[in-house]
Amino acid sequence: MTPPEENRSHHAASARFQGVRKGTSHGLDAYLIETPHSKAAISAFGGQLFSFVPTGSVHDMLWVSPLLAAPPTPIRGGIPVCWPYFAREGQPEDAPSHGYARTARWALTTTRTASSGAVELELEPEGLDHLDVRLQMTVRVGTHLEQGLHTHNPGVAPVRLTEALHNYFRVSDATVVRVEGLAGLTYVDKFDQLRTFTQHGDWTLPADRPRSDRVYPDAGGTYRLVDPGFGRAIEIRGHAARTAVVWNPGVDVANGMADIGPHWREFACVETANVGDDAVHVAAGTTHSMWQTISVSPLDT
């Protein structure tokens, strides 16, 4: 677990939400954060980061579908929280895809402000007491974005868990971006009957059939999404997150998705995860934390 920033001022209960205001984003109730370094928005529905814009940036780091459906349909875009399982791993076919957290109502429990001006939020999903585990999320908004999922097992038996932070990054054109940090790794191709391949060079969308649903086990946790069109790179660093998932549905699949359709070129998903053989076993009475740190920088000219 990444240690909290030092020298934060702790506020009294009456001021515990300092640095955050309630508002709306994309027509949904949201927690809005503004710091000297960046702005961000988190939806109360799904606890989903909608936006992260470093000061001076022209483009949002995150993509949210302009065809967004109303709740209870899950939000397409931002950073969905896939928990306590990814996809339907280990679940019956009628289980909700990607778990319960992304359609729960999330409550803001406290905030803290660092001496640097960065703001830290703690949030918890409501209505999930029927599960064997409990979830808390930390979000730190400053010069970069930090996000942690903390799963506590209050029971007497271990619990198997899969999870992901399903990052939808806004890009100039998904067909021209690349992801560094995956070369030489083995991946499972969910678009090719779960066959296993080796990644040769950086990830790019295949030219002959531009789509990707690749799961990279034991990937290491550090990746860089390079976008020449926007002149920027997005670095993703995972902590206690062994799996990488890189997803874009491509034109054929997207045409059958009401909340993506013609907008498939506008994003690339590089996800921080523990899925498949990288599943986590949370021992009784313990807490497992998965973190990601995301930063945006201009490309060298």
Query: How far, in Å, are 55, 259, 275 from residue 34 at the CA level?
Result: 10, 28, 33
Tens digits of pLDDT across the chain (301 residues): 444 443 333 333 334 577 899 999 999 999 999 999 999 999 999 999 999 999 999 999 999 999 999 999 999 999 999 999 999 998 999 999 999 999 999 999 999 999 999 999 999 999 999 999 999 999 999 999 999 999 999 999 999 999 999 999 999 999 999 999 999 999 999 999 999 999 999 999 999 999 999 999 999 889 999 999 999 999 999 999 999 999 999 999 999 999 999 999 999 999 999 999 999 999 999 999 999 999 999 997 5
Encoding tokens for residue 60?
Answer: 């949002």
- Torsion angle (degrees, nearest 10) of CA 227, 41, 163, 176: -10
Rg (CA), the chain: 18
Q: Which fold has domain 22-298?
A: Beta-galactosidase; Chain A, domain 5 (2.70.98)
| Pick from 110, 124, 158: nearest CA to 9 | 110
Domain ranges of the chain: 22-298
pLDDT at 143: 97
Distance from the Cα of residue 224 to its chain's centroid? 15
Decide: residue 156, CB within 10 A, 0-12 exposed, 13-18 middle, 19+ buried.
Answer: exposed
Contact indicator for 233, 179 with CB cutoff of 8 Å: no
How far is Cα 187 from Cα 157, in angstroms, rounded to an integer? 32
